[in-house]
Structure formats: structure tokens, C-alpha cells
């Protein structure tokens, strides 16, 4: 049943801290009174709201629709009334507020009509169409819209990999999900295979989750291979898991589908199964609450529930709690405000304390020991990238393949000088991304400006053509009725206007009468005087 | 000895001919300098450099008629890129030129009289409207050049600084004390 195993370079084995939260069964969090549903819970554009303040909404009703291709819908987690659509703190490393739909729950939890499907009867196209508005995104943390990933691309997808590695310390939500709902997860994976037309279906699980692996094996049909991989961070990185299971390496700058492989998280497969077989859009997820809390464990939470409330459900914070980490300690970020809601990408909340997470030791200069390069699963040269990122030399950092860095944090973890390497990479990567955005904006502006100039030129020509036509028409009509008094008067007026314009122009641009000698000046004066006389004669006939 | 010289000369001649031929036949159609400079300029088309748009400024730089530090929207990064491209020294932004935070123009819909003057001023056709109709600015296309402000007879266009949002937010430069720097500062 086991695949031959391959390996990936680098990696590490930090303290797992899984036992704290993986013993108890998943607890469903009771309904809350108020939900804050962010419009951006996915990679790509914010969703566009389609409800208004004051509307009554039902559980599963669409609150906002995708805006563009890379975007996803969001749905009401319960029934109630929309009380606001406004910026609200969200779980984001910036700590900035983002647009959210605030719903006051009515406690009835009344659902919209949901239509279950027997997916085997539907063509992949029809099924995809149904899924597009379900708000499905990758629940492993990358939150990339799933309907985009389920679209077959240029290369045929041969292999579908289900990612149950869950390599990051502290997090156990996928572990519990696989233990308790293996059949549903695998049915979701079957649907994915149907959609992608993949031949092979592999499930990768780290060997520190024997119960999950056993449950998945028991539920798996003969054509699904459940593979147990050694516990080594970051085996759950998509490219690392591909390497472990197939021995294939995704080339730098490419994505897995270029070599015919697609990877989904187990929780995404579970959500997809619910969306298809129950017709329920993505409105809840399982979150690990752990660290300095009374009852660490896994909680099934409706999206939009404030994080502080979920922590309360987990027995509340214990004395000594000092902050919150969203995601794991290696790839996660500090949460600014626990008022932020649980969103699709929030897989774990760790209540921190100085004992669990001692403050970062002071960094020392890089000694070029090379340990970071040995630990890097992407075989980068972290110390070089660090040097250039630190000097803000973005081009050089990019030349060392900074954009291939998966921000796994292995390098920072092993660095004996305690340099927060990943912080520098995140900084440099977001600068590079901003620069790309600027470049695109400039490209657009250049095009629009060129079009603008073209338009002005065309309008000028059209105007000239129009005037020319008019002038010739006038000439013709003038020959037909030469002594029409009205036409003659108009002609005189026009000529006078043109003459005035000509004089004004001359007066404005006397380019060649600067710096004249006295004799020249006298000549010019004489000419001017004669011209004046002539003009007087003309205007007073 | 003589044979050696003859052989070397012959080889030299053959290589010379091959290289000369290659030079003519494999010449890469190079971007003219103006295009390269124009690619670096931010395309705000604001005229702050003293030229009527980015391309005229690029042309002036290419003809050595203008310095490389006259474009405020391009900022230091732009000057650095120009200096690299042209092989000259970096210099700070010219006197009296300050880069401003990015902004877009917004029309006060209640005051606008629909005179179309702003449309004529906008270098990127980002303003939509018709005579005697309320005008609006397409924020995605607006470069923040401010050229529409002056022509408006009722002063109803205003620049709004684009504030940072979750999408445009950037990770900050890490400020961790490095041991020896701390020691040196002390
Ligand atoms: S591990 Fe740290 S000290 Fe060693 S080379 Fe990498 S960055 Fe430098
Ligand atoms: S964070 Fe980036 S550079 Fe560091 S080990 Fe991970 S992939 Fe390599
Ligand atoms: S100052 Fe304005 S017009 Fe001149 S190059 Fe810079 S952006 Fe373009
Ligand atoms: S110039 Fe001012 S008043 Fe005229 S159309 Fe533009 S915004 Fe309206």
C-alpha cells in the first residue's frame, strides 16, 4: 500500500506540541450573537457585497460574490440581520481593518434552500459551475480559490495529492478531521479527482499521526494510496509533499500543475464534499485553539465568530497569556486584535505566553556558517538573500531566487546568530510585489496616455477636415448668391475675427525685433506707421 | 616559425570574418534608449519634471538635455535605475522637488457643473462625463498627476491620498538590534 518514499532537502524537526490539542474530539461551538464576515478571506480580490444593511439573511445565503477570476464568494454563517458593512479588524499580519459584513444573529439558524447533488451524474463542467459560488478556498492556509485550482489547465493532471501532513507544530485540526471524518474527506477527494480527471490519488500524512493514517486507510478504497511520510517540517509544503510522494521536483518559478500534479488540503476536500453532497457553502471550519488556554483542542466554528469568543469556548486564557499567534509558530503571525473574526484561512490560534514562546534573543552578525542553507528545503542561499534584503538591494535578492522562498522559517530556526531571516524576506518580497504593482500601473498609464495622444491627433484632423468641408461649401454657396447681404456680413465678421487673431499673434510673438540698432528701429517704426494709416483707410471706407 | 605565423594569421582572419558576419546578421534589435528610459519613468504624466509628459522627459534625458533627478513621482528608486541605465552617478531629487504620497483625484459630485474642462486636461482619459453632466474619475486609471485640479472653474476636484489597505500593505523593514551595532552605538 505504501508508495516508495522519496525525500526533500533540508527541513527540521522542532518540538511538536501536538499532544496538547489532539486528544479531545472536535467540539462544535454554539451559535454566537454577532458575526463579522470579512469580504476578503481568500487570495485575490475582495468579494463584492450583494446584501444591504437591514436585510434579513439566512444561513448559507450569499453575502458577497466573487470579483474577478481570482476571488471567492462569502456566505452568511447563520440567519439574522445585516447591521453593518464596514471596516473591522481582521486576522491579518498588518493589523489593518478590512471590509466586513456584520450580522446580528436571530438564534433561529434558518438555512437557505440547499440542493444536494449526486455528483456522479453530473459532468465536470456542470459540477464546476455549481461549485464556483460556494466560496471554497484552500483551508491549509494559502486560501487560494478552489474553483480556479479545479479548472484543468494546459497540462493534464495525472496525480491528485491530498495534503494531510500538517507539519507545523501545535496545529492538529487536520489530524482530528481525518480521525473523525475520514470517509467524508475521501469522498471530497473523489469529487476532486472526478473534476480534474486525475488518474492517481495519493494522501500524504506524517508518521506522528498514526490514528489519522489508520482511519484514512480504513476509509480509503483500493484506488487511493495513503502514504505515511516521516515527520519533518515542512513536509506539508505543497512542493515538498510532491517531492516526498513522487520524487518529482517542481522547477523554480513553476507551479505543480505544470508537471501534472495538483495538491489540496484535507480540510478543503471535506468542505468540497459538504458543498456538493449537502449543497452547503463554506460557512464553518475546524480551528485548533491551543497554548495558554484552559481546554486546548479543536473547535468547529462558524466563520465570522470573533476569535476572543472562540477562546472563551476553549475555557478562556490562563494566567500568563501574553498574545495570540494565528497559524503556527513558524509560518504564522501575531494577531493584533482578538476581536478579529475566524476567517477561512485561520487554522490555528495559539495563546502565547513568555514561557511557551520566550522572547527572540538578540541577533548577532551572520558568520556565514551555512547552517541556514543546509536547512532550506528549497535549496536557497538564505544568508545571501538576507544580506541583500537587509541592504534593500531587491534586485540582487531576487537574483538569489528570493521569490522561490516559501517562508517556512527553517533558516531562522537554525541560525545560531538568531537572525530573524524570514522577516527580511517577507519585507523584501512585499517590496518586490509592490514594485510589480507599480510597474503594471505605469504600463496601463502609458497605454492610456498614448491612446489619449492618438485621440487628440485624430480629433484635430477631424476638425480640420470638417472646417475644410465647410469652407468649400461656403465658397460654392458664395458663387451662387454673391450679393446676399447676410452672407457678406458674416464673411466680414469672420475676416475681422481672423485678422484680430493674426494681429494678436503678431503682437504676442515679435520674435525678430529684439536687440535692433537705432537705424533698424527707425525703419521698423516707419513701417508700422504706414501700416496703421493703411488700416485706418480700410476700416473707415 | 613562418608556418606558425601564417596559421595564426589565417585563424585570426577567419574568426574576424565570422565575427564581422555575425555582428551584421545576429544583431539584436535593441530598444532605443528613449524607450528604455521611458520604461523606468512612472508614467504619471504630471509634468513636474518640466516636460509635457514622461516621454518628452525621456527624450530630453536621452539627448543629455535634462538631468536624471527631475521626476518626483519616480522617487529615489527611479533615479537609481536611470543612473544604472545611463552609467552616471546617482544624485538626490532636484531642489524643490518632493515625492508626494500616492493619491487619486475625486470630483465632488454636488458641485460639478459638467464643463468638461477636466476631461481635456486628463492625460490618461481617466475622467468620464459629458457636457452639463456630472463627471466621475476612474480611480484605477487616475495616475494622481493633479493636472485636472487647476482647470476646474468651481474647484470641486480634490486629491485623496490612497491609504494603506490589507491588499497594498507591505511588511515593514525588520528593526532588530544587531549585536555589534548596539555595541558600536554605545
Ligand atoms: S545560519 Fe545564520 S549565521 Fe549561519 S550563514 Fe545562515 S544567516 Fe548566517
Ligand atoms: S524561509 Fe525561505 S530561505 Fe528560509 S529555509 Fe524556508 S524557503 Fe529557505
Ligand atoms: S515628473 Fe511627471 S511627467 Fe515628468 S517623468 Fe515624472 S511622472 Fe512623468
Ligand atoms: S472641470 Fe470641474 S466642474 Fe468642470 S466637469 Fe470637471 S469637475 Fe466638473
Tell me if B160 is assigned to some domain.
yes
Query: Given this model, what pLDDT does residue A474 score?
Result: 74
Q: Which of A109-118, A420-429, A522-531, B90-99 has the lowest mean pLDDT?
A: A522-531
Average pLDDT, chain A: 88
Q: Tell me the Ramachandran region of residue A515: left when phi exceeds 0, alpha when psi lies from -120 to 50, beta otherwise.
A: left
Has residue B135 got a pLDDT over 90?
no
Q: Which domain holds residue B114?
A: 100-164
| pLDDT confidence band for B14 (50 / 70 / 90) | confident
Query: Given this model, what pLDDT does residue B186 score?
Result: 32
Same domain, B116 and B153: yes
Chosen from B85, B119, B171 to mutate, greatest number of chain A CBs within 10 A: B171
Is any ligand 1 atom within 6 A of the Cβ of residue A419?
A: yes
- The CATH number of residue B57's host domain is 1.10.15.40
Query: Given this model, what pLDDT does residue A521 score?
Result: 73
B180 touches chain A (CB under 8 A): yes
Query: Given this model, what pLDDT does residue B182 score?
Result: 38
Contact A327, A349 (CB under 8 A): no
Same domain, B42 and B73: yes
More confident position, A406 or B182: A406
How many angstroms separate the alpha carbon of residue B147 from the centre of ligand 3?
12
Has residue A311 got a pLDDT over 90?
yes
The string of pLDDT tens digits covering residues A2-33 is 555 788 999 999 999 999 999 999 999 999 99
A90 contacts in chain B (CB < 8 Å): 166
Tell me the Cα Rg of chain A: 35
* Alpha-helix residue ranges (DSSP H) falling in A21-145: 124-132
pTM of the complete model? 0.79
Is any ligand 3 atom within 6 A of the Cβ of residue B42?
A: yes
- Measured between alpha carbons, how far is residue A287 from residues A136, A178, A316, A346 in Å? 16, 14, 15, 7
Tell me if B145 is assigned to some domain.
yes
Rounded to an integer, what distance in angstroms lies between the CA atom of residue A205 and that of residue A266?
Answer: 10
Has residue A95 got a pLDDT over 50?
yes
Average pLDDT over residues B76-93: 89
Has residue A540 got a pLDDT over 60?
no
Q: Could you give the number of structural domains in chain B?
A: 2
Tell me if B92 is assigned to some domain.
no
Listed in sequence order, the residues at least 6 apart from A41 whose beta carbon sits closer than 8 Å to its beta carbon are A72, A74, A137, A143, A303, A343, A344, A345
If you search the block for the grid coordinates 458593512, which residue do you land on?
A: A85
Same domain, B61 and B116: no
- The CATH number of residue B159's host domain is 3.30.70.20
> What is the CATH T-level fold of the domain A27-313, as seen in this structure?
Rossmann fold (3.40.50)
Query: Given this model, what pLDDT does residue A488 score?
Result: 67
Among chain A residues, the shortest Cα distance to B123 is held by A449
Query: Given this model, what pLDDT does residue B5 score?
Result: 87
A98 contacts in chain B (CB < 8 Å): 165-166
Same domain, B104 and B150: yes
Query: Given this model, what pLDDT does residue B183 score?
Result: 37
A444 contacts in chain B (CB < 8 Å): 140-141
CB atoms within 10 A of CB A457: 10
Residue A127 φ then ψ, to 5°: -70, -40
Same domain, B81 and B127: no
Ligand 4 atom 4 nearest Cα: B115
Is any ligand 4 atom within 6 A of the Cβ of residue B134?
A: no
Ligand 3 atom 5 nearest Cα: B54
A46 touches chain B (CB under 8 A): yes
Average pLDDT over residues A180-189: 96
Average pLDDT over residues B153-173: 87
A394 contacts in chain B (CB < 8 Å): none
Q: Which ligand 1 atom is the nearest neighbour of the CA of A414?
A: 1
The string of pLDDT tens digits covering residues A472-524 is 877 766 554 445 566 666 666 656 655 655 555 445 444 455 556 677 677 76
Among chain A residues, the shortest Cα distance to B139 is held by A441
Q: Count Cα atoms within 13 angstroms, Cβ side, for A302.
A: 23
Average pLDDT over residues A314-324: 93
Substitution candidate for ligand 1 out of A371, A373, A397, A400 with most atoms within 8 A of CB? A371
3-state secondary structure A238-287: HHHHHHHHHCCCCCCCCCHHHHCEEEEEHHHHHHHHHHHHHCCCCCEEEE
The string of pLDDT tens digits covering residues A326-364 is 999 999 999 999 999 999 999 999 999 999 998 888 889
User: ipTM exceeding 0.90?
Assistant: no
The string of pLDDT tens digits covering residues A432-481 is 999 898 899 999 999 999 999 999 899 899 999 988 888 887 776 655 44
| pLDDT confidence band for A386 (50 / 70 / 90) | very high
Which is nearest to B174 in space by CA: A386, A367, A368, A97? A386
Domain ranges within chain A, ordered by starting residue: 27-313, 371-419, 441-539
Is any ligand 3 atom within 6 A of the Cβ of residue B47?
A: yes
CB atoms within 10 A of CB B151: 15
Average pLDDT, chain B: 84
Amino acid at each position: 500500500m505504501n508508495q516508495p518514499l522519496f525525500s526533500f532537502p533540508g527541513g527540521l524537526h522542532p518540538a511538536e506540541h501536538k499532544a496538547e490539542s489532539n486528544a479531545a474530539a472536535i467540539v462544535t461551538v454554539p451559535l454566537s450573537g454577532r458575526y463579522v464576515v470579512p469580504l476578503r478571506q481568500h487570495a485575490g480580490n475582495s468579494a463584492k457585497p450583494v446584501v444591504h444593511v437591514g436585510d434579513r439573511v439566512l444561513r448559507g445565503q450569499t453575502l458577497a460574490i466573487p470579483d474577478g477570476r481570482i476571488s471567492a464568494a462569502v456566505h452568511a454563517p447563520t440567519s439574522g440581520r445585516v447591521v453593518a458593512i464596514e471596516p473591522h479588524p481582521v486576522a491579518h499580519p498588518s493589523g489593518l481593518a478590512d471590509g466586513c459584513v456584520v450580522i446580528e444573529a436571530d438564534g433561529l439558524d434558518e438555512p437557505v434552500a440547499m440542493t444536494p447533488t449526486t455528483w456522479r451524474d453530473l459532468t465536470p463542467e456542470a459540477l464546476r459551475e455549481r461549485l464556483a459560488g460556494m466560496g471554497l478556498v484552500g483551508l491549509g492556509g494559502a486560501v487560494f480559490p478552489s474553483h480556479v485550482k479545479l479548472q484543468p489547465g494546459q497540462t493534464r493532471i495525472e496525480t491528485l495529492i491530498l495534503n494531510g501532513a500538517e507539519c507545523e507544530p501545535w496545529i492538529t485540526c487536520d489530524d482530528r478531521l481525518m480521525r473523525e471524518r475520514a470517509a467524508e474527506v475521501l469522498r471530497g477527494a473523489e469529487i476532486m479527482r472526478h473534476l480534474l480527471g486525475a488518474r492517481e490519488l495519493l494522501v500524504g500524512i506524517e508518521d506522528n499521526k498514526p490514528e489519522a493514517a489508520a482511519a484514512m486507510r480504513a476509509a480509503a478504497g483500493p484506488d487511493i494510496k495513503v502514504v505515511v511520510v516521516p515527520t519533518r517540517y515542512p513536509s506539508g509544503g505543497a512542493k515538498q509533499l510532491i517531492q516526498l510522494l513522487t520524487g518529482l521536483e517542481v522547477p523554480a518559478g513553476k507551479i505543480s500543475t505544470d508537471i501534472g500534479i495538483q495538491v489540496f488540503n484535507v480540510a478543503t476536500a471535506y468542505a468540497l464534499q459538504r458543498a456538493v453532497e449537502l449543497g452547503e457553502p463554506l460557512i464553518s471550519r475546524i480551528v485548533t485553539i491551543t497554548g495558554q488556554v484552559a481546554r486546548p483542542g479543536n473547535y468547529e466554528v462558524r466563520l465570522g465568530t470573533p476569535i476572543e469568543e472562540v477562546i472563551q469556548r476553549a475555557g478562556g486564557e490562563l494566567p500568563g497569556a501574553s498574545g495570540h499567534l494565528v497559524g503556527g509558530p513558524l509560518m504564522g503571525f501575531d494577531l493584533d486584535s482578538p476581536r478579529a473574526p475566524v476567517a477561512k484561512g485561520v487554522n490555528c490560534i495559539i495563546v502565547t505566553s513568555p514561557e511557551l514562546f520566550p522572547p527572540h534573543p538578540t541577533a548577532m552578525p551572520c558568520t556565514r556558517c551555512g547552517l541556514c542553507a543546509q536547512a532550506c528545503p528549497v535549496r536557497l542561499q538564505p544568508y545571501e538573500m538576507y544580506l541583500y534584503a537587509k541592504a534593500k538591494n531587491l534586485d540582487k535578492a531576487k537574483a538569489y531566487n528570493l521569490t522561490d522562498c516559501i517562508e517556512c522559517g527553517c533558516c531562522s530556526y537554525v541560525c545560531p546568530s538568531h537572525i530573524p531571516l524570514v522577516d527580511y524576506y517577507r519585507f523584501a518580497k512585499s517590496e518586490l510585489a509592490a514594485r510589480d504593482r507599480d510597474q503594471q500601473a505605469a504600463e496601463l498609464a502609458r497605454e492610456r496616455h498614448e491612446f489619449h495622444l492618438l485621440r487628440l491627433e485624430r480629433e484635430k484632423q477631424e476638425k480640420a477636415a470638417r472646417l475644410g468641408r465647410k469652407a468649400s461649401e461656403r465658397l460654392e454657396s458664395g458663387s451662387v448668391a454673391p450679393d446676399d447681404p447676410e452672407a457678406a456680413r458674416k464673411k466680414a465678421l469672420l475676416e475681422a475675427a481672423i485678422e484680430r487673431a493674426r494681429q494678436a499673434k503678431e503682437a504676442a510673438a515679435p520674435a525678430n525685433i529684439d536687440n535692433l540698432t537705432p537705424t533698424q528701429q527707425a525703419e521698423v517704426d516707419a513701417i508700422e506707421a504706414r501700416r496703421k494709416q493703411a488700416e485706418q483707410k480700410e476700416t473707415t471706407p | 616559425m613562418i608556418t606558425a605565423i601564417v596559421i595564426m594569421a589565417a585563424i585570426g582572419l577567419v574568426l574576424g570574418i565570422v565575427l564581422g558576419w555575425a555582428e551584421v546578421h545576429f544583431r539584436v534589435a535593441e530598444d532605443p534608449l528613449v524607450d528604455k528610459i521611458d520604461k523606468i519613468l512612472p508614467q504619471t504624466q504630471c509634468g513636474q519634471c518640466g516636460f509635457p509628459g514622461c516621454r518628452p522627459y525621456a527624450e530630453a534625458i536621452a539627448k543629455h538635455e535634462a538631468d536624471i533627478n527631475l521626476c518626483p513621482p519616480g522617487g529615489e528608486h527611479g533615479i537609481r535605475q536611470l543612473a544604472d541605465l545611463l552609467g552616471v552617478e546617482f544624485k538626490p531629487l532636484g531642489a524643490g522637488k518632493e515625492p508626494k504620497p500616492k493619491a487619486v483625484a475625486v470630483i465632488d459630485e454636488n458641485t460639478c457643473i459638467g464643463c468638461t474642462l477636466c476631461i481635456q486636461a486628463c492625460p490618461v482619459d481617466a475622467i468620464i462625463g459629458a457636457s452639463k453632466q456630472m463627471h466621475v474619475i476612474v480611480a484605477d486609471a487616475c495616475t494622481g498627476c493633479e493636472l485636472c485640479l487647476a482647470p476646474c472653474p468651481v474647484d470641486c476636484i480634490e486629491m485623496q491620498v490612497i491609504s494603506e489597505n490589507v491588499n497594498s500593505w507591505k511588511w515593514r523593514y525588520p528593526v532588530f538590534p544587531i549585536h555589534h551595532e548596539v555595541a558600536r552605538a554605545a
